[in-house]
């Protein structure tokens, strides 16, 4: 049976992978206590003890604002960790599936970003993730880098669950309306990853994956409110009303054309997928 390592094993994407995991594959889930990807010797020991066919790297420093104050920690996990995994995967002929982010872009475009567009991150988080991508591309030939955006699910902490909680606690919620992106259900990303493995796809490289369509955080919140049948008022505000340490791209919609063509998949709209998730959470 093929062994598949999933780092960041307690996060929402890893949990979604666990939800759909095939019995024909042996998934090994590790958190940072069980396997520290910033320590190359620990990775070496682990890979020697376990033959790994695929490594799905869900481990990341994702606290966007905290990264501005703790750049060393962000780069250690997002850059050094990715580089270490690439080195050990190359040595053991393991295929690496690495999760990256729309935050590698600066948001100055007004049309969806393709895999050929030049990254230009605005903050430490995006910069550290981009450096991780570059190491993987320079070290490995057998890799899949998947950039995704606005990830949510019925698991962990995310925007949908936060909104559902606030709708129960408050009469009014303010949400920014000048950042545009594509909400992505982590379960759909998990299915895409599973498909790559099931097909034993030889189409290595960089891909974008999100649910189809675009909205603002305000539009996203309004859709969640409607589905939850809440009476809470949702008010649109500019980003300037919620100043943060890290700048966010004002537009980070990802182009799905290449991903759909290469892998022959149909991707659901964010609205259609959201309705299913809210019904499970609510």
Query: In whole angstroms, what is the distance from residue 159 CA to residue 122 CA?
Result: 21
**Which residues are tagged catalytic?**
125
Asked if residue 149 lies in contact with residue 252, where contact means CB atoms within 8 angstroms, the answer is yes
For residues 222 and 152, what is the distance between their CA atoms, to the nearest angstrom?
A: 16
Over the range 79-90, which residues count as b (16 or more CB within 10 Å of their CB) and which as e? bbbbbbbbbbbb
Taking phi over 0 as left and psi of -120 to 50 as alpha, with beta for the rest, 207 belongs to: beta
Nearest of 61, 106, 55, 101 to residue 80 by alpha carbon: 61
Nearest to 55 by CA among 19, 20, 90, 100: 90
Number of helices (H), then strands (E), belonging to the chain: the values are: 11, 12
Q: What is the rounded distance in angstroms from the CA atom of residue 282 to the CA atom of residue 280? A: 6
126 CB-near residues (< 8 Å, 6+ apart): 101, 103, 104, 105, 119
Q: What span, in angstroms and rounded, lies between the C-alpha atoms of 88 and 121?
A: 27
Residue with tokens 């570059």: 134
β-sheet with 143-148: strand ranges across:
25-30, 2-7, 54-57, 95-101, 143-148, 205-208
> What phi and psi values does residue 76 have, to the nearest 5 degrees?
-60, -45
């Amino acid at each position: 049976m093929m062994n598949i390592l999933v780092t960041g094993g307690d996060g929402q994407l890893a949990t979604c992978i666990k939800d759909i995991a095939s019995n024909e594959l042996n998934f090994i889930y590790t958190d940072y206590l069980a396997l520290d990807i910033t320590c190359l010797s620990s990775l070496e020991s682990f890979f020697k003890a376990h033959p790994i066919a695929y490594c799905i790297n869900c481990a990341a420093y994702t606290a966007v604002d905290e990264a501005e104050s703790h750049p060393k920690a962000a780069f250690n996990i997002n850059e050094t960790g990715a580089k270490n995994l690439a080195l050990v995967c190359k040595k053991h002929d393991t295929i690496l599936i690495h999760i990256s982010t729309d935050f590698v872009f600066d948001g100055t475009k007004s049309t969806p970003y393709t895999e050929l567009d030049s990254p230009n991150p605005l903050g430490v988080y995006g910069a550290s993730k981009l450096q991780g991508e570059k190491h993987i591309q320079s070290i490995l030939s057998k890799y899949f880098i998947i950039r995704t955006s606005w990830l949510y699910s019925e698991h962990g902490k995310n925007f949908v669950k936060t909104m559902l909680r606030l709708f129960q606690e408050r009469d009014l919620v303010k949400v920014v309306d000048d950042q545009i992106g594509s909400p992505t259900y982590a379960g759909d990303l998990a299915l895409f990853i599973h498909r790559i493995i099931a097909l034993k796809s030889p189409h290595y490289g960089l891909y974008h994956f999100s649910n189809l369509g675009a909205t603002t955080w305000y539009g996203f919140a309004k859709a969640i409110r409607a589905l939850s049948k809440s009476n809470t008022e949702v008010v649109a505000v500019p980003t300037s009303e919620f100043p943060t340490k890290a700048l966010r791209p004002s537009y980070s919609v990802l182009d799905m054309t290449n991903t759909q063509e290469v892998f022959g998949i149909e991707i659901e709209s964010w609205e259609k997928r959201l309705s299913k998730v809210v019904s499970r959470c609510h």
